[in-house]
Amino acid sequence: MILLTGANGFVGSAVLSRCIESGLVVRPMIRSLESVIPLIKGIPYVVHELDELSLCNNLLEGITQIIHCAARVHILCDEATDSLEAYREINVRATLNLATQAAAAGVKRFVFLSTIKVNGEFTVLNYPFHADDSPSPKDPYSFSKMEAEHLLLKLMFETDMEIVIVRPPLVYGPAVKANFASMIRWVASGIPLPLGAIHNLRSMVAVDNLADFLITCLKHPAAAGQTFLISDGEDISTPELLRRTAQAMGKNSFLLPVPVSLLRIGADLLGMHEVAQRLCGSLQVDIEKSRSLLGWTPRLTLDQGLKKAVEGLTQ
């Protein structure tokens, strides 16, 4: 049986659906019954707050594998008094507590959902990150994920439990929020956007592809002890992303060729420096290790993933 944490989150709910579709027996763990993403009817959930001290009774009984999606996620303009400590509480200490108890209970494999931000924030155009590159985290969230990775690998060498680490870039899909949802609304409005002069490349991953890959990591013998990067297998520029999102809606895109330097100046004046960095900068990942070692290929193309995302957000 599989324990799935964060099962009613954006990624976790997609993983749960894929588990059920694949005929896998899963015990979903959620923090509370209050969620934007509805629970799947007929599936019994374990409701428990993930913390660094304890687990509810019998949570790990019969569990042989874990996919750990629950986390304190990245927050733009985080207002926590001690941001790193807030991330460590859930992403490091609570994760290690769960993994330690899992190893003691005889769990065979623990798949940890990390982030590409452990590798860094940006890449030079056409020089992607690789799975075995040295980490270069830049913010409290990515530091906490890196620390969790290191402690989990240390635990693997001290116990019989196998660890698999997965670092996705931007994840998108029908229930996506934040900047990607805003982009879809911009395109749907038909408002001309000043993004036509950007020359970058970014990797993304459809949530369905990520869910499929996490389950592959759960089952494939060669995944044990490995770190993987994952994407849809196609890198795309910001202007091309907008055009293809518009196509998925059956609309035209209107992009104005405003110089990137002016975009960055305007964004800085509006306090949107990080947003501009994401729109204008490159972040590419190389997934050859995922393909060759695990024989994995994305279930959805980027265009198929965009169509599902658009349909989910515009219905």
Check if the beta carbon of residue 80 is closer than 8 Å to that of residue 139: no
Give the closest residue to 116 by CA, choosing from 128, 124, 99, 103. Answer: 128
**In whole angstroms, what separates CA 35 from the centre of its chain?**
18
Q: By the 8 A CB rule, do 165 and 227 touch?
A: yes
Half-sphere exposure of 58 (CA within 13 A, CB side): 3
Give the H or E element holding residue 4.
strand 2-5
Instruction: Clarify whether 87 is annotated catalytic.
Output: no
CB neighbours of 280 closer than 8 A, spacing ≥ 6?
198, 200, 238, 260, 263, 264
d(CA 126, CA 193): 25
Eight-class DSSP state of 109: E
Query: Which of 45, 127, 141, 172 is the catalytic position?
Result: 141
Q: Specify whether the CB–CB gap between 168 and 116 falls below 8 A.
A: yes
What the block records as the tokens of 270 is 């509006």
- Secondary structure (3-state) at 206: strand
Gap between the Cα atoms of 216 and 77, Å rounded: 35
- Which residues lie closer than 8 Å to 77 by C-beta, 6 or more apart? none
Catalytic residues: 141
